[in-house]
Amino acid sequence: MSDDGYTRITLRIPTPLDEKLNVAARVTSKSKNAEIIQRLEQSFLDDDEASRAKILAPLQMIVPPADYKPLIRLLAAELSDALNERVFLGRSPSKQRDSIEEETPPEAQPPSKNS
């Protein structure tokens, strides 16, 4: 890779494909290089979208698309809660529980499992 953030490559492509790239570059007022980069980047985005669609397909059978955002918010909140239980300001869950119980007045604490 050079200092400009690009890697130079030599590429052999079929002549008809080269002609299509030349036409597409002219139509979009880009260089052929810019056209190739844009098309390659788009192909990766399309791959990502296809992967997402493949993952979401079973979900779409169960949950209507209008309910995705609330469901995602719920899942994000659950994940956040789970992570906070595992790591709370660098303390283990048992230390977290102890510190919360110390800070919480007895009348506001949930009943213990032993009672």
Residue pLDDT, tens place only, 51-90: 877 777 777 777 777 777 787 788 888 888 877 776 655 5
Please, what sign has the CA dihedral across residues 24, 28, 29, 31? negative
Which pLDDT score is estimated for 22? 95
Which pLDDT score is estimated for 62? 78
The residue ranges of every structural domain in the chain are 13-62, 64-107
Q: How much of the chain is in helix, strand and coil states, percent to nearest 5? A: 70, 0, 30
Structure-block tokens of residue 29: 């007022």
Mean of the per-residue pLDDT values for the chain?
Answer: 76
Q: Please say whether the beta carbons of 107 and 115 come within 8 A.
A: no
Q: How many helices (H) does the chain have, and how many strands (E)?
A: 4, 0
Greatest mean pLDDT among 2-16, 42-56, 58-72, 99-113 lies in 2-16
Global pTM value: 0.44
